Structure 1
Amino acid sequence: MTVIADITVPADAFPLGRVLEDLPAVEIELERIVPLREAIIPLFWISGADPAVIETTLRDHAETESVEQLTAAEDRTLFEVRWGPDINGVIQALIDTRAKILEATGTADTWDFRLRFSSHEDLSAFNMALTESDVPVTLRHIYNPTLPDEGDALSPRQRDALLTAYRQGYFEVPRRTTLTELADTVEVSDSALSQRLRRATNALVEDTMLTDEEPRS
């Protein structure tokens, strides 16, 4: 049965945390991690520092093979980074257990992940892999989500974020509130709320608008 886990790991247990440890004001929002042949490529949004400084810091690190700035939105920049094939720890455990990253944000101190596993066995394997790699992990919350054909396609936090945004006029033209004001209301960072709203919208489109024949993300 599918299981979702909220975990926290130290920043230095994750490549971006190790690379950017000298930039304490940085906040990172992971978009996705995909294996491509022998390379591991994360896409991530970053705020809190000059994008040029971030790019230089990434390029100069031994674990990095290539870096590219893809786009910018408001005060955030989307980067694509190709890590070397020797990256292990959290990333390798994610790949080996086929975990799907639902949400991920990081700072100079910690990384918070919301992960979906196909089974409790995969979650246990993930935890064991981190233990064997000497990566301390804090399990904040674990639960079994409702399957789409049995109920809501949204997680409780996604539903709350969407409803709060709707009730406060975030989707109106012109908007009656800002992302920062919404983030203060639900007590998360701007980038975490932005990701939650995008994930929720994506889930609603998949659940209500796609046919069985159409591909899903």
Structure 2
Amino acid sequence: MTVIADITVPANTFALGRVLENVPNVEIELERIVPLQEAIIPLFWISGEDPETIKTCLRDHSQTETVAELTTTDGQTLFEVHWSPDINGLVQALIDTRAKILEATGTTETWDFRLRFTAHEDLSAFNMALTREDIPVTLRHIYNPTIPDEHSPLSAEQREMLLKAYRNGYFKVPRRMNLAELAETEDISDSALSQRLRRGTEGLIEQTLLADE
């Protein structure tokens, strides 16, 4: 049965965290990780620091092969980095257990992940892999999600978050609850909540406005 786990790890146990440990104001939102035979390619949004500074930090790191600045919007810049395939630890554990990264946000201190595993056995294997690598991990929450309608582009988590935002007046003008307050009720970062709302809204548009096109 599918299981979802919310975990936190120190930034220095994650390759991207180590690369940017000298950029104190940076906030990172991982889009996805693409594992290839010749390289590992993370795509991530960065805010809180000049894009050129980030590009220089990434380019100068020994495990970075190439860096591309893809786009900038709303104060965030999307980067694509080709990492050396020799990277192990947390990234390798994610790949080996075929974990799906639903959300991932980080700073120079910690990284928060929401991961989906095909079965509890994969989650156990992931935890054992981190233990072998001496990577401390905090399990914040674990649950078996409700299986959504197979024809719906919204996940159960996205639907739940959109409804909670609506019921708490997040979409009202003026807002009755801002992003930080809403994130506090979920015990997640502003960035993680923004990511969940954005993807949920995208799915809702696909489900409604684009349904008849």
TM-score interval, smaller chain: 0.7 to 0.9
- Structure 1's 203 and 143: CA in aligned 2 closer, same or farther, altered over 3 A? farther
Contact 1:161 1:186 in 2 (8 A): no
Percentage of pairs with the same residue? 70
CA distance in 2 between partners of 1:127 and 1:209 (Å): 41
> 1:176 maps to which residue?
173
CA distance in 1 between partners of 2:76 and 2:208 (Å): 30
> 1:185 maps to which residue?
182
SS of structure 1 residue aligned to 2:178:
helix
Amino acid at match of 2:6: D
SS of structure 2 residue aligned to 1:32:
strand
> 2:26 maps to which residue?
26
Say if 2:160 is the partner of 1:163: no
> 1:91 maps to which residue?
91
SS of structure 1 residue aligned to 2:85:
coil
Instruction: Give how far 1:2 is off.
Output: 0.3
Instruction: Give how far 1:189 is off.
Output: 4.1
CA distance in 1 between partners of 2:58 and 2:149 (Å): 43
> 2:62 maps to which residue?
62
CA distance in 2 between partners of 1:207 and 1:129 (Å): 39
CA distance in 1 between partners of 2:60 and 2:76 (Å): 21
Alignment length, in residue pairs?
204
TM-score by length of 1: 0.83
CA distance in 2 between partners of 1:165 and 1:65 (Å): 41
Unpaired runs of 5+ residues, structure 2, are none
- Structure 1's 206 and 122: CA in aligned 2 closer, same or farther, altered over 3 A? farther
CA distance in 2 between partners of 1:177 and 1:185 (Å): 15
Unpaired runs of 5+ residues, structure 1, are 212-217
- Structure 1's 207 and 94: CA in aligned 2 closer, same or farther, altered over 3 A? farther
> 1:3 maps to which residue?
3
TM-superposition CA deviations, 1:2-56 (whole Å, max 9, x none): 0000111110010111011111111100000111222111110111111100000
Instruction: Give how far 1:154 is off.
Output: 3.4
> 2:135 maps to which residue?
135
Amino acid at match of 1:114: R
> 1:46 maps to which residue?
46
SS of structure 1 residue aligned to 2:62:
coil
SS of structure 2 residue aligned to 1:56:
helix
For 1:119-134, list aligned pairs within 5 A.
119-134=119-134
CA distance in 1 between partners of 2:36 and 2:202 (Å): 24
Instruction: Give how far 1:209 is off.
Output: 9.4
- Structure 1's 119 and 154: CA in aligned 2 closer, same or farther, altered over 3 A? same
CA distance in 1 between partners of 2:131 and 2:207 (Å): 36
What is the CA RMSD across the aligned residues, in angstroms?
A: 2.7
CA distance in 1 between partners of 2:64 and 2:38 (Å): 13
- Structure 1's 2 and 25: CA in aligned 2 closer, same or farther, altered over 3 A? same
Contact 1:35 1:41 in 2 (8 A): yes
SS of structure 1 residue aligned to 2:126:
helix
> 1:111 maps to which residue?
111
SS of structure 2 residue aligned to 1:98:
coil
TM-score by length of 2: 0.85
CA distance in 2 between partners of 1:38 and 1:58 (Å): 18
